[in-house]
């Protein structure tokens, strides 16, 4: 992932103890780290799965995703980039009307571990304002790009009424070219979470930070496979089903 390269550069350039800096970067990026404040991951409800999608909307692949989700009568949560949402307002409203939850993924996908307070605030508020004007209601969830954050990132999100969200099931779907690189890995992680007694917070990508209409055929096919495999035995929920039960 991009952030590991950035992190490596920062560690290399730093005069401070590499161990201390490495520890801080670990805390800044690792989903389960609570050092920089709490974030929603997944509650102790092993029968539930939240499908979440980042970096959209995508004019080609998001509508296909909507069709698949509708066919399986499943709802999902979409973490949108403000810069893409503002270009596709009818699509965003379609997603909302279909019962999906729309959430904030920043305006332009910066790495918030290396972003100052002023820009962090601007990235979140600009997206929040645009989403509210499109949806007629405020978004309630925020996922930091790359999972990267500083204490201010989560404080800022919470001050805007946003619950920070991370994940506990991810395959490298943003660089996958076939469904086989994504679906089996996610299914194994979902089973692992189930064995551990927790729900699965699955992150996939319907968009891409660098391009509005990036190819997401592998991710979309993986969703079809996961719904076919789990829809009979598990419940697919949107993230608001987990508030306030798991928020701490
Ligand atoms: Zn992202």
Q: Distance from the CA of 58 to the center of ligand 1, in angstroms?
A: 13
Q: Distance from the CA of 142 to the center of ligand 1, in angstroms?
A: 11
Q: Tokens 């699955």 sit at which residue?
A: 202
Q: Given this model, what pLDDT does residue 31 score?
A: 62
Extents of the domains making up the chain: 1-30, 49-242
Q: What residues of the chain score a pLDDT lower than 70?
A: 1-37, 244-248
Q: Distance from the CA of 162 to the center of ligand 1, in angstroms?
A: 17
pTM of the model as a whole: 0.87
Q: Given this model, what pLDDT does residue 69 score?
A: 98
Q: Given this model, what pLDDT does residue 35 score?
A: 54
d(CA 139, CA 103): 5
Which are the catalytic amino acids?
A: 54, 205
**Strand ranges, E, within 165-205:** 169-170, 200-205
pLDDT in tens, 170-199: 999 999 999 999 999 999 999 999 999 999
CATH architecture of 49-242: Alpha-Beta Barrel (3.20)
Mean pLDDT of the chain: 89
């Amino acid at each position: 992932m991009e952030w590991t390269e950035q992190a490596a550069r920062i560690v290399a350039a730093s005069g401070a103890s590499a161990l201390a800096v490495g520890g801080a970067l670990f805390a800044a990026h690792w989903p389960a780290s609570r050092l920089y404040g709490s974030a929603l991951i997944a509650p102790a409800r092993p029968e539930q799965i939240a499908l979440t999608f980042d970096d959209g909307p995508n004019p080609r692949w998001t509508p296909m995703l909507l069709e698949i989700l509708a066919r399986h009568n499943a709802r999902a949560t979409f973490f949108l980039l403000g810069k893409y949402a503002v270009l596709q307002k009818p699509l965003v409203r379609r997603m909302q009307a279909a019962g999906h939850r729309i959430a904030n993924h920043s305006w332009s996908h910066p790495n918030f571990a290396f972003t100052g307070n002023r820009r962090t605030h601007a990235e979140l508020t600009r997206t929040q304002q645009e989403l509210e004007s499109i949806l007629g209601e405020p978004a309630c969830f925020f996922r930091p790009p790359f999972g990267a954050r500083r204490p201010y990132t989560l404080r800022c999100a919470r001050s805007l009424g946003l619950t920070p969200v991370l994940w506990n099931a991810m395959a490298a779907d943003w660089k996958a070219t076939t469904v086989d690189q994504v679906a089996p890995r996610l299914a194994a992680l979902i089973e692992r979470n189930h064995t551990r007694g927790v729900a699965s917070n699955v992150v996939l990508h319907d968009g891409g930070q660098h391009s509005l209409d990036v190819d997401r055929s592998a991710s979309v096919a993986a969703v079809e496979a996961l719904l076919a495999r789990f829809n009979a035995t598990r419940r697919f929920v949107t993230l608001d089903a987990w508030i306030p039960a798991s928020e701490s």
